[in-house]
Amino acid sequence: MRVAAVGSALPPHYYDQEALLGALRKAWAERHHNVGRLEALHRNVLVGGRHLALPMEDYDGLTNWGAANDAWIRVAQEVGEQAVRDGLKKAGLPASRIDALIFVTVTGVATPSIDARLCNRMDLRSDVKRMPIFGLGCVAGAAGIARAADYVRAYPDQIAVLLSVELCSLTLQREDLSIPNLIASGLFGDGAAAAIVAGSEVDLPGPEIVATRSVFYPDSERVMGWDISERGFGIVLSADVPQVAEQHLGHDVDAFLEDQGLKRGDIAHWISHPGGPKVLEAMQRALGLGEEAMAESWKTLREVGNLSSTSVLLVLEATMEQHRPEPGSYGLMLAMGPGFCSELVLLRF
Three-state SS for 3?
strand
119 is catalytic: no
Give 170's Cβ-side CA count (13 Å radius).
Answer: 26
Distance from C-alpha of 10 to C-alpha of 138, rounded to nearest angstrom: 17
Least Cα distance to 202 among 155, 264, 266, 261 occurs for 155
Helix ranges, 272-328 (H): 277-287, 295-304, 309-322
Chain centroid to Cα 162, Å, comes to 12
Cβ neighbours of 313 (radius 10 Å) = 34
Residue 109 φ then ψ, to 5°: -135, 145
Cβ neighbours of 53 (radius 10 Å) = 27
Least Cα distance to 214 among 281, 147, 294 occurs for 147
Cα dihedral sign for 292, 223, 254, 349?
Answer: negative
- Asked if residues 310 and 140 have their Cβ atoms less than 8 Å apart, the reply is no
- Asked if residues 104 and 140 have their Cβ atoms less than 8 Å apart, the reply is yes
- Asked if residues 325 and 269 have their Cβ atoms less than 8 Å apart, the reply is yes
Residues labelled as active-site residues: 138
